[in-house]
Copies of this chain bind each other. A is one copy, B any other.
């Protein structure tokens, strides 16, 4: 069906192609030019990415949308629900818990954990906040595959260690550290300060040009 390994930078583009396809309900086919227009990637880039799925475009018509959607879902592994544990029920954690957008893509926060005794036992958005000691058992029982780390920097490595020990291998980290982890773990870091510093660099260069 498709080559074994797809380059890392192609994966987020697949997500965006899929989203564009969801909005293209008027026709049965879509051309690489149309997909390029919808996603703002170049048509050459789109065509190159689509070669990973094998040759199923129809000359003069483009790609069958139903088929393309199915293939992308299969590659991303998003055709089924993936359960998430939220570590940290502070401001950011609760915002993520309240965010309904995940569920649409098949991701669901099914359990939340905090070390703050005043939070443990409370329920937010239908999810019970538990103590960290319950993590290993809940991960097993609820078939949790992904952890979201939303704790302060100074306790983030400890939280990551506990998550890894519980058997989770995929982590989305919001704490402003780069956690250490053994091979075989996949950690994606979302670091807001770094993004703001990128913008600052852009503003700096821009002001020089003026």
With A16-B178, A16-B194 as known contacts, state yes or no: A200 contacts B82, CB within 8 Å. Answer: yes
Number of interface residues of A (CB under 8 A): 59
Interface of A is mostly: helix
Q: In the bound complex, how far is the Cα of B197 from the Cα of A5, in angstroms?
A: 16
Q: Does A40 contact B (CB under 8 A)?
A: yes
With A77-B203, A197-B12, A202-B186 as known contacts, state yes or no: A178 contacts B40, CB within 8 Å. Answer: yes
Q: Does A45 contact B (CB under 8 A)?
A: no
Q: Which residues of B contact A82 (CB under 8 A)?
A: 196, 199-200, 203
| CB contact list, A167-185 vs B, under 8 A | 169-172, 176, 178, 180, 184
Q: Does A36 contact B (CB under 8 A)?
A: no
The stretch of A49-57, A92-100, A115-123 in contact with B is A92-100
Q: Which residues of B contact A197 (CB under 8 A)?
A: 11-12, 14-15, 76, 78, 105
The 3 closest A-B pairs by CB, nearest first: A77-B204, A95-B95, A170-B199
Q: Which residues of A contact B (CB under 8 A)?
A: 5-6, 11-12, 14-16, 19, 39-40, 75-78, 82, 84, 91-92, 94-96, 98-99, 101-102, 104-105, 107, 145-146, 153, 169-172, 176, 178, 180, 184, 186, 188, 190-207
